[in-house]
Structure 1
Amino acid sequence: MSATTGSARTRRSGSVEGRQRVRDGATSAIMHLVLAVVAIIVIYPLVWVVGSSFGPGGGLANATPIPENATFDNYVHLFTQTNYGRWYLNSLYVATINMAGSVALSALCGWVFARIRFRGRKASMLGILILQMFPSFLTAIAVYMLFLNFGLLDSLTGLALVSIAAALPYNTWLMKGFTDNLPASLDEAAALDGAGRLTIFRKIVLPLMRPMLTFVAITSFTAPWMDFILPRLLLQSSGKQTVALGLFQMITDQYSNDFTTFAAGAVALALPITILYIVLQRHLVTGAMAGAEKG
């Protein structure tokens, strides 16, 4: 009797395990199918733009993912017949200042909020938290009037300063969360040896911030490349245009509708950023995960 019962239990257990394997297989197949569909949706437009950049002609009719008569004429035209080089240098200037300023200020602010106790600290942190909830374009009119009064309109440096200020609340919280995870015993040991606060920050805390500093540097460098609203609002002369403004004008001007050259400009713009992300991907993931542990 006991042998029969044990055999029945074994069959039931095997049946349950079989059904579970079938369910797991079906779930895995559905997930892979969904991921494949999403990948196609995301990758196809990118392939289409890259293919269009090598296509002959200039209209949308010649834009195909795989052009029949591939040519580099669009890239030659881009750098010889347009101001793309000037736009690129303008964007590079804004991005570099934004990166340097964001890294320096966010590292210092994050360390101050994480390590130093002062009056109004909680209120300041709450204010920063509230500020980062609002997108920067909500203050566009106020920023425009402020720049108009101070004579900073049509200034690339002014645009970089606005970009730094817009991202500072978010970057400060990232750096504070990362610094909270660093052992305070290192600071205390250095203080016992006679080191001052700035020395502790510069020689002990700052080197340990490297993963998050890399993350902030890359995101701060790439942000101006994608920004369109603030440059459109603050920059007026053609010589101060960024890549986003230049490419937009290239396909919206009533006398110009050169889509394939626009595609070449988009590819040339994305190439260095893509390489940067690939090379520093490990630091990006490490910094993002570390900053999310504590906020």
Structure 2
Amino acid sequence: MKSYTNQRRLSLIFRYILLILLAIIWILPIVWIVLASFSFNDTGFVSTFWPEKFTLQNYIGIFTNPQYPFGNWIINTLIISLASMVVSTFLTISVAYVLSRLRFAFRKPFLQIALVLGMFPGFMSMIALYYILKGLNMLNLFGLFLVYVGGAGLGFYVAKGFFDTIPRSIDEAAEIDGATKWQVFVHIGLPLSKPMIVYTALTAFIAPWTDFIFSGIILSTSGNAKDYTIAYGLYNMVHTAKGNATAYFAQFVAGCVIIAIPITILFVFMQKFYVNGITAGADKG
């Protein structure tokens, strides 16, 4: 018995040591980025982990640099992210509810096709989307918004699993009382699915807020820096500097910290709903 207790204790110690090491590996780069954003260096390149001198000049500089309008990038990204969040959440929840509650022709084939399509990454369609938007003269922020919300309806599987866990007897009781399908959805389905709505909204907001690949392809032909999003704007700031790229490195890092702030705040206050949405949606497929 004593030997078993010692083995269990050693096992727990080993696990905790491993978890601590993994936590350090994950947290260390984040700490370095935050410290580098406050580092003062004439060349812009940060060569030490702990800054020799702290300053807010990097944050001030990124907002006051007329060549790289960071304020416009934030506004553009925020508008696209919020609009995409609203539309994508509505589409995803609506499609999930319909496929969970209603029975109609070709429902099962649609579920199977959607499952297969979901296995392919969206980046496979980049070239086709680029030429389609180019032909429609929509290589702009609105075209980027359409790309983000275009495939929202196919991301319904997690939300559908959540709706499958809600007893159908609740819907039937409401319909007996004279409620329509829409009223059941609005007054019963939506209130009961708050965790799933929060989860869907968070994922729909984060995707365009942090996206670089699609924004880089669609906005690359724009000659106006004011039309960029944050991710592509920061890349463009360092890329176009060429030989002077290190001069903007500290400002680039400051911009990365600013990008992370809204996401961090959202997860801190919404993590309960986020976790509940994932676990509830995984209960039933």
- The bucket for the TM-score relative to the shorter chain is over 0.9
Distance in structure 2 (CA, Å) of the matches to 1:131 and 1:58? 50
Aligned to 2:187: 203
**TM-score relative to the length of structure 1:** 0.90
**TM-score relative to the length of structure 2:** 0.93
1:32-86 CA distance string (max 9 Å, x none): 1111111111111111110000011254653433212100000000111131111
Aligned to 1:133: 119
Aligned to 1:7: none
Q: Aligned pair 1:165/2:150, yes or no? A: yes
Distance in structure 2 (CA, Å) of the matches to 1:260 and 1:48? 12
Mapped contact 1:58–1:259 kept (Cα < 8 A): no
The structure 2 residue matched to 1:175, chosen from 140, 159, 163, is 159
1:166 CA drift (Å): 3.6
The structure 2 residue matched to 1:249, chosen from 231, 236, 257, is 236
The structure 2 residue matched to 1:111, chosen from 93, 97, 107, is 97
Aligned to 1:33: 17
Alignment gaps of 5+ in structure 1: 1-16
Distance in structure 1 (CA, Å) of the matches to 2:48 and 2:276? 38
What's the secondary structure of 1:64's corresponding residue? coil
The structure 2 residue matched to 1:279, chosen from 255, 263, 269, is 269
Distance in structure 2 (CA, Å) of the matches to 1:28 and 1:251? 46
Distance in structure 1 (CA, Å) of the matches to 2:149 and 2:209? 14
Compare relative contact order (CA 8 Å, sep 6+) and give the higher one, 1 or 2. 2
Q: Evaluate the alpha carbon distance shift between residue 61 and residue 230 of structure 1 in structure 2; reply closer, same or farther with a 3 A threshold.
A: closer
1:225-256 CA distance string (max 9 Å, x none): 22111111111322221111111122222143
1:171-223 CA distance string (max 9 Å, x none): x1111111000111111011101111111111111111111000010111111
- The one-letter code of the counterpart of 2:273 is H
Count of residues paired in the alignment: 277
Distance in structure 1 (CA, Å) of the matches to 2:43 and 2:280? 47
> Computing the radius of gyration over CA atoms, which structure comes out larger, 1 or 2?
1
Distance in structure 2 (CA, Å) of the matches to 1:146 and 1:45? 39
Q: What are the residue-to-residue correspondences of 1:64-83 with 2, within 5 Å?
A: 64-81=48-65, 82-83=68-69
Q: Evaluate the alpha carbon distance shift between residue 58 and residue 278 of structure 1 in structure 2; reply closer, same or farther with a 3 A threshold.
A: farther
CA RMSD of aligned residues (A): 1.4
* Identity level (%): 37
